[in-house]
Amino acid sequence: MTAPSAAVWCSGLRKRYRRRTAVDGVSFTVGRGEIMGLLGPNGAGKSTAIKILLGLVRADAGEVLLLGRPAADPRARARVGYLPELFRYQPWLTAEEVLRLHVRLAGDPVPPSARRESLGLVGLADRADDRVGAFSKGMQQRLGLAVALVARPELVVLDEPTSALDPIGRADVRDLLLSLRERGVAVLLNSHLIGEVERVCDRVVILDHGRVAAAGTLPELLGRRELRLRLGDAGAAAQARLAATGPVAKDGDEYTVTLPAEPDEALVPALVADLVALGVRVHAVEPGRITLEERLLDILRAGKADEQ
């Protein structure tokens, strides 16, 4: 993907605070109409990288293009919506007045109909005239999403957008992100809720100690396939047959076999047939992949082992 065609393109970002390096050589792209997740432990550099992209923090090195223009170009910034992790709105203002204030500060004329539409997208249409001071934390987070979307941006950057939301609210945001993708809007999502990232993101970048530890599509990152079996009376011969298929983990009568990334279609039926021929009772067979959380932990543990 070329830099001008990407919604976000950054290369070699570096930022150091005295003795601590927050971001160290970070490079990635976010395609138009793509949802990209940014993952990593606390202190990995995710929020710093986002602030560099948006011009809120000056990088020591590196280059950023937003929507094909330098990040400092006001024409690029005007087409970007942003929800920071920590935000406060004036409690004496109504939800509609908060939107009106933000579009005025941005210098972007947004008609009242667009403000109402934005509140409707986040489920606050009937609270437009209520003061923000009476809103719950989850409702304020919904309002923050409305602020990010009100100018109909081409790129939306969301820093922990569902941290204060209940399960219904998280599902609503998930549906909203998918609808943005359908409209061709690019989304950069920083979240600790790995399950949410796994559900909606096209690609993921994992940061660790300020560096890109892994990046790719979910199929690329979750390439390891597993087969979970619940067996009765699996003797030595049966366990040897399982081990011949791939590495095996045992927990009581449950066995997890790691399969090749793209196993032959006949592999699992042949394994089950062999186990039955050995006299083993096969109570359950469940194929699947590792989860994104498991993959993330593998990457972070490998990075920690390299340091030692």
| pLDDT tens-digit map of 229-256 | 899 888 889 889 999 888 888 888 888 8
194 with 88, same domain: the answer is yes
Confidence of residue 101 (pLDDT cuts 50, 70, 90): confident
In degrees and rounded to multiples of 5, residue 176 shows phi and psi of -65, -45
pLDDT of residue 72: 84
Question: Does residue 24 surpass a pLDDT of 60?
Answer: yes
Taking CA 36 as the corner, what is the angle to CA 143 and CA 69, rounded to the nearest 5 degrees? 85
Please say whether the beta carbons of 95 and 130 come within 8 A.
yes
Please give the tally of structural domains in the chain: 2
Whether residue 206 is contained in a domain is answered as: yes
CATH number, domain of 250, equals 3.30.70
pLDDT of residue 205: 94
Mean pLDDT of 120-133: 90
Whether residue 297 is contained in a domain is answered as: no
Whether residue 244 is contained in a domain is answered as: yes
Is the pLDDT higher at 3 or at 145?
145
Whether residue 300 is contained in a domain is answered as: no
Question: Does residue 65 surpass a pLDDT of 90?
Answer: yes
Which residues form the domain of 110?
A: 6-220
* Percentage of the chain modeled with pLDDT above 70: 95
212 with 239, same domain: the answer is no
Please say whether the beta carbons of 214 and 40 come within 8 A.
no
Q: Which two tokens stand for residue 245?
A: 């298929």
185 with 235, same domain: the answer is no
Whether residue 308 is contained in a domain is answered as: no
Mean pLDDT of 20-42: 92
Whether residue 92 is contained in a domain is answered as: yes
**Residue that terminates a domain, selected from 220, 242, 268:** 220
pLDDT digits (tens, 9 = 90+) for 279-305: 999 999 887 777 788 888 888 887 776
Confidence of residue 28 (pLDDT cuts 50, 70, 90): very high
d(CA 248, CA 182): 41
Question: Does residue 1 surpass a pLDDT of 70?
Answer: no
**CB contact set of 165 (below 8 Å; sequence gap of 6+):** 138, 141, 142, 172, 173
At 236, the amino acid letter reads A
pLDDT of residue 187: 94
Confidence of residue 261 (pLDDT cuts 50, 70, 90): low
* Percentage of the chain modeled with pLDDT above 90: 31
Q: Which two tokens stand for residue 204?
A: 């993921």
Whether residue 174 is contained in a domain is answered as: yes
Q: Which two tokens stand for residue 269?
A: 């039926």
Please say whether the beta carbons of 112 and 128 come within 8 A.
no
Whether residue 159 is contained in a domain is answered as: yes
Mean confidence (pLDDT) of the chain: 86
129 with 271, same domain: the answer is no
pLDDT digits (tens, 9 = 90+) for 33-58: 999 999 988 888 899 999 999 989 99
d(CA 143, CA 141): 5
pLDDT digits (tens, 9 = 90+) for 176-199: 889 899 999 999 999 888 888 888
d(CA 27, CA 49): 10
pLDDT of residue 224: 66
Is the pLDDT higher at 71 or at 14?
14
140 with 241, same domain: the answer is no
